Chains A and B, each alone.
Chain A
Amino acid sequence: MSAQVLSWALLVAQLMLGLGMICAAVRMIIGPRAQDRVLSLDSLYVSAMLMLLVFGIQTGRTLYFESALVIALLGFTSTLALAKFLMRGEVIE
Chain B
Amino acid sequence: MTAASELPSWAALGVAILVVAGTTMTLLGSIGLLRFRTFYERLHPPTLGSSSGTMLVVLASILYFSVVRSRPSIHEILILIFMTLTTPVTFILLARAALYRDRTEGNSDVPSDPLQGPADPSA
Contacts and interface: CB of A to CB of B under 8 A. Distances in A.
Interface of A: 1-3, 5-10, 12-14, 16-17, 19-21, 23-24, 26-27, 33, 35-36, 38-40, 42-43, 46-47, 49-50, 53-54, 56-58, 60, 62, 65, 68-69, 72-73, 76, 79-80, 83-84, 86-87
B100 A20 contact: no
Q: Is the interface of A mostly helix, strand, loop or mixed?
A: helix
Given A50-B53, A80-B89, 7 more contacts: A2-B7, A5-B13, A12-B20, A12-B23, A35-B39, A46-B46, A53-B61
Contacts of B61: 53, 56-57, 65
Contacts of B65: 62
Interface residues of B, number: 57
Contact of B31 (A6, A9, A23): A23
B119 interface: no
Contacts of A68: 79
A17 B26 contact: yes
Given A27-B33, A62-B65, A79 B94 contact: yes
Contacts of A5: 12-13, 16
B15 A6 contact: yes
A53 B58 contact: yes
Interface centre among B16, B53, B68 (most CB of A within 10 A): B16
Closest 7 CB pairs of A and B: A9-B16, A20-B30, A60-B3, A2-B9, A2-B12, A23-B30, A87-B97
23 contacts: A2-B7, A3-B7, A6-B13, A9-B15, A9-B16, A14-B23, A20-B23, A20-B26, A23-B30, A33-B39, A35-B39, A36-B39, A39-B33, A40-B33, A47-B30, A50-B54, A53-B76, A57-B15, A65-B61, A72-B82, A79-B90, A83-B94, A86-B97
